[in-house]
Amino acid sequence: MSLRVMLVDDHAVVRAGYRRLLELESDFEVVAECADGDAALTLLQQRQGAGVDVMVLDLSMPGRSGLDLLRRVALRWPAVRQLVFSMHDSPVMVAQALQAGADGFVTKSSQPAWLVAALRRVAAGERPVLSPDIAQAPAAASAQPPHRALSSREFQVLQGLVAGEPLEAIATRLHLSAKTVSNYQTLIRQKLGVGTAVELLRYAQQHRLHNP
């Protein structure tokens, strides 16, 4: 049987490239494409998770983040394997994705054959499957206590703060109250050992925690 793949990326040209690559393989079938996390959740809800073996997703998308999508899919439809295909390559981003429910992580700088191989390995139940350039990422992340102390939700709030989003906008995007986001901001600063927004931005840039 063919491996049924769902593509989730906000760039139509990128999705088209994925599709062409996978259609060259006799054992893959691209059964769905989505431009953001909300559309992906809606489609999976309609299908009740059926008909999709592996979801390939980016982390940086408008609206619902890739990390939130990973977590929700892992909770609702654990049979759907999840492979991140992203420009991100920092150890912390890789560790956050795996913690949120990713079964594998391949960087977009990897050779095309690596995406194909990773899909097969993830579908076979292997975890975690990491491209060679980030194979040591989880171990590297574990050696950085301030990074590892952040929960998935805190990391999502951090990304919004670093991007310059107002607290109200972050709250709306993550379906939280502004007060809750404010509390997260305080916790994040405490865990990372920074006192101001400028120090937080500098820390994020130094450790490559921001979106490219």
pTM across the whole model: 0.68
Mean pLDDT confidence for 14-33: 91
Could you tell me if 72 and 97 are in contact, meaning their C-beta atoms sit under 8 angstroms apart? no
* Other Cβ atoms within 10 Å of 6 Cβ, number: 23
Residue 211 predicted with pLDDT over 60: no
Tell me the pLDDT of the chain averaged across its residues. 85
Q: CA 86, CA 93: separation in Å to the nearest integer?
A: 10
AA letter at 211: N
Secondary-structure breakdown of the chain: helix, strand, coil percentages, each rounded to the nearest 5: 55, 15, 35
Q: 154-209, pLDDT tens digit by residue?
A: 888 998 998 889 999 999 999 999 999 998 888 888 777 677 788 788 888 777 77
Residue 141 predicted with pLDDT over 70: no
Is residue 165 exposed (0-12), middle (13-18) or buried (19+ Cβ within 10 Å)? middle
Q: 77-127, pLDDT tens digit by residue?
A: 999 999 999 888 777 778 888 888 999 999 988 888 888 999 999 999 998
- pLDDT recorded at residue 117: 92
| Residue-range domains of the chain with CATH | 3-138 (3.40.50.2300), 145-206 (1.10.10.10)
Q: 105-115, pLDDT tens digit by residue?
A: 999 888 888 88
Three-class secondary structure of residue 119 per DSSP: helix
